[in-house]
Structure 1
Amino acid sequence: MTLLFAATTAVCLLVLVAIAVHTDHHSRTNDLDNSVSHRADGLARTLFYDAVGTLRTDSLPEDELARSAEALGILEALPNSGPRIRYAYSSQAALPAQRELDEIWREVKRDQETILVTTSAVNGRAYRWAAASVWDNDRIGAVVLVGADPSQGEADHQRLIQWLALCCAALVLVAAAVGHLLTGRAMRPALRGLEQQEQFLAEAAHELRTPLATLRLVVEEGSASPQRAPAALDQAVRLVDRLGRLVTGLLARARMEAGTQEVELGPLRLDQLVERTIAELPDSTGVTVTTAEVVIVDGDSGLLAQALRNLVENALRHGGGTPVEVSVTAGRVVVRDHGPGVPPEDRTRVFERHVTGTASTGTGLAIVRWVAELHGGTARLSQAPGGGALVELLLPECTSR
């Protein structure tokens, strides 16, 4: 998109530059032609033939039009003879060669008006000439030639082209930079939405993997043993209910992250939520829960249950089969395992999304911190006394009791 923006700007600038270059060249040419034409016409009106048929050029040395001309010549042709140079300023070498003079004379006689031609002088320089006729009764007796060197105008024209090229290059670069910023700003929400979608899919897979695997085992056991079928069916129903709550929570979290839904917090018993959530886990036999007091917090039960499940399942997975201890105190849930623990340099990274390596926890702890921050709290990990990992979920207590 940046390249397209820059290319479009470049094309528009090229069109404008082409118009500007053409206009400037046309304007300079017209100015030069008007200058030499007006000068030639003015000088032609000052010349005349006297009563005896002699061309009078006495006024030319004092005429300002003649003195300010770059090149000036008077061609005169006697009856039945070709044109010859009668007067030259500043030198005869500044006038065209005889062959070009003959051609100019023929064109003036043919058109019988002021003509414009470009030709080289004897000294090799190119001039733009205006040729105006001087009448002797009913015939053209002389021609006034006024020339101007177009090289200065052409040099200015070339400098204009160079400046326009530099300015266009600079503007294209600026347009590319601005286009990059604008397209980046325009694409950023789409990229953020795509990233959120990818995160949602990863977290959904993380959340649904364990209950789906457990449901598969329960169904296989029930189908393999008719005696266990009723118990397997009851457990399968509970797992399906849990899956339904998980899907509802995932959708709610996706809407919250997209900004289309706000979290609804209300007073709830954190101690009871912890006990109920752990009881629903399929492998909760190695988990010990300690709740010494009634703990009430402002929270969303579905999101907090999801965070608690992730904490306990992470401890069971990375604790190496050791017992997991869960304790609930005022605004604080602590989950401890007796496994190898987490190196100090990884204790912050494990709460980031898509962490890889020996301390990887997938997206589980990232969801825990997200839920904690959504409730105005936080989550942290430290080394437990005597070994193992200790993860704390800190939440503000309910203020409406």
Structure 2
Amino acid sequence: MTAEARIRTLRWRLTALFTLTSLVGLVGLAVFALHSDTAASRRQLEATMDLQADHAVSLIDYDDNRRLDLQPLIDTVESDCPPLTVLSGTADHLTVARTPPRPCVPIAPDDVHTVAVAALRHGSATWADTRTPDGDPVRLLATPFSGPDDRSWGGALVTAVDTADSEAEHRQLVTLLTVGCAVLVSLSAMAGHLLSGRAIRPALTALRQQEAFLADAAHDLRTPAASLRALAETARDDDTLRGEALDRTVRLASRMSDLIDGLLTRARLMAGVATVAREPLRLDQLVEAVVDDTATHGHHVTVLTQPTVVVGDPDLLRRALANLLNNALAHGHAPGQRAEVELTVSPEGTVTIDDAGPGIPPTLAGSLFERFHSTSGSTGLGLSITSWVAHTHGGTLTVETSPRGGARFVLRLPGHTKHLP
């Protein structure tokens, strides 16, 4: 797996981790909310039922013959809804003293009897859950009441509430929270993917810059390295040429050192750890120096300049101009013929390089400055580097047909220019 593929895999892992974290958090909050809603609803229901039961129990009395008197309860409280069932006696022997004639919640007599017995045996209010004959959930409360001597229990009052509506609302809340969690987790996954993409972008940029640096280094150092090997072989095989070969080796090694410095400078500039130098320089003199330092190998180079000052990085501009000149010398002529190259420097900060070669097909002009694009078998990095230098200085690099019949490359460096008399 390549380094870029590993970085992209890391992005998906970060997205999955972000999504899983959000999912766990949201599910935890949803469970807590549902538990809190259930507990709150039950507390509210039980408080209401307990209050109603206490009020009903307070209305149960006895007559002078110590018999149960339920008339105050019947006259005061609507006992059909919620249904109030009164059972008298002990836990071992309970009889129904009163049942609601038209209960709004139908309850099986056995369920009423069971919860009443439990309340009398525990001596306190007792809760129970059951269902109606139709299957609806019901909450029961049995509250014991005192006997005629106030020293023992005289029976129990049982009340019931249908909790179907409450449970339906709870299920609706569960559905809403489930849908909400699903939507939020989906949004979290998308946000996590975007954030992880932004997080790994510097790593991908650094990786591509490293690959670009290695490609540029191979492009710029391949020819000098081959020349060094040829000079070394010449010095080894021919003693008469050894001194000249060594002198050329020293000059070539110096050029290679300059190339390496330029590559490192460009890599640091692209990585953002260095800035482009901005200093006034004579563009015409820089072009003349580049021409003097370039081996023409029998080709003819004409320089037409006017004194011109621009503001820029001399090392980067020197390299860009050298690339354009070498490109014209290498490709601006027919096979076996001498190249005729003309460089013109205008006061507006424009350098024009014309050759008499085959020119550039119009279909290739748009992609000529792309990395690794070449029409002649080279790596195609020279023109892409020159284009990068031009854009770094706020300028442009264009190609068109030359009046000489070949290609014309125009390097424009706008702004901060002046003409010297």
TM-score by length of 1: 0.88
* Equivalent position amino acid for 2:238 in 1: S
Give unmatched runs, 5+ long, in structure 1: none
Distance in 1 between the 2:69 and 2:135 partners?
A: 30
Answer yes or no: is 1:192 the counterpart of 2:211: no
Match of 1:55 in 2: 68
Match of 2:250 in 1: 237
Residue 192 to residue 64, structure 1, CA distance change in 2 (3 Å):
farther
Distance in 1 between the 2:58 and 2:126 partners?
A: 16
Q: Displacement of 1:234 after TM fit?
A: 0.8
Q: When the two structures are aligned, how many residues end up with a matched partner?
A: 398
Equivalent residue in structure 1 for 2:126, among 115, 130, 143: 115
Answer yes or no: is 1:287 the counterpart of 2:306: no
Match of 1:147 in 2: 160
* Equivalent position amino acid for 1:101 in 2: V
- Residues 47 and 57, structure 1, Cα contact 8 Å, conserved in 2: yes
Equivalent residue in structure 1 for 2:141, among 113, 130, 133: 130
* Equivalent position amino acid for 2:402 in 1: A
Match of 2:39 in 1: 26
Q: Displacement of 1:400 after TM fit?
A: 8.0
- Residues 145 and 155, structure 2, Cα contact 8 Å, conserved in 1: yes
Answer yes or no: is 1:165 the counterpart of 2:169: no
Match of 1:14 in 2: 27
Q: Displacement of 1:131 after TM fit?
A: 0.6
Match of 2:326 in 1: 313
Aligned residue runs from structure 1 range 2-401, under 5 A: 2-64=15-77, 66=79, 69-77=81-89, 81-84=93-96, 86-91=98-103, 94-98=106-110, 100-121=111-132, 124-136=135-147, 137=149, 138-282=151-295, 284-298=296-310, 299-319=312-332, 321=335, 322=337, 323-330=339-346, 331-355=349-373, 362-385=380-403, 387-396=405-414, 398-399=417-418, 401=420
Distance in 2 between the 1:149 and 1:280 partners?
A: 100
User: Counterpart of 2:146 in 1: which secondary structure?
Assistant: strand
- Structure 1, 368-377 or 314-323: larger mean CA deviation: 314-323
| Cα root mean square deviation, aligned | 2.8
User: Counterpart of 1:142 in 2: which secondary structure?
Assistant: strand
Distance in 2 between the 1:122 and 1:393 partners?
A: 94
- Residues 121 and 127, structure 1, Cα contact 8 Å, conserved in 2: yes
User: Counterpart of 1:88 in 2: which secondary structure?
Assistant: coil
User: Counterpart of 1:380 in 2: which secondary structure?
Assistant: strand
- Residues 352 and 366, structure 1, Cα contact 8 Å, conserved in 2: yes
Q: Displacement of 1:182 after TM fit?
A: 2.8
Q: Displacement of 1:352 after TM fit?
A: 2.6
- Residues 245 and 302, structure 1, Cα contact 8 Å, conserved in 2: no
- Residues 97 and 121, structure 1, Cα contact 8 Å, conserved in 2: no
* Equivalent position amino acid for 1:395 in 2: L
* Equivalent position amino acid for 1:350 in 2: L
- Residues 269 and 295, structure 1, Cα contact 8 Å, conserved in 2: yes
Distance in 2 between the 1:160 and 1:78 partners?
A: 43
User: Counterpart of 2:277 in 1: which secondary structure?
Assistant: coil
Distance in 2 between the 1:198 and 1:258 partners?
A: 12
Q: Displacement of 1:48 after TM fit?
A: 1.2
- Residues 105 and 162, structure 2, Cα contact 8 Å, conserved in 1: no
Residue 239 to residue 29, structure 1, CA distance change in 2 (3 Å):
same
Distance in 2 between the 1:342 and 1:142 partners?
A: 110
TM-score by length of 2: 0.85
Q: Displacement of 1:276 after TM fit?
A: 3.6
Distance in 2 between the 1:327 and 1:106 partners?
A: 113
Summarize deviations over 1:36-80 as a string: whole Å, max 9, x none.
22212221111112121322222334434635x333211223898
Distance in 2 between the 1:364 and 1:192 partners?
A: 21
Distance in 2 between the 1:112 and 1:10 partners?
A: 47
- Residues 41 and 114, structure 1, Cα contact 8 Å, conserved in 2: no
- Structure 1, 143-152 or 290-299: larger mean CA deviation: 290-299
- Structure 1, 195-204 or 239-248: larger mean CA deviation: 195-204
Residue 112 to residue 374, structure 1, CA distance change in 2 (3 Å):
closer
Distance in 2 between the 1:273 and 1:123 partners?
A: 100
Identity %: 35
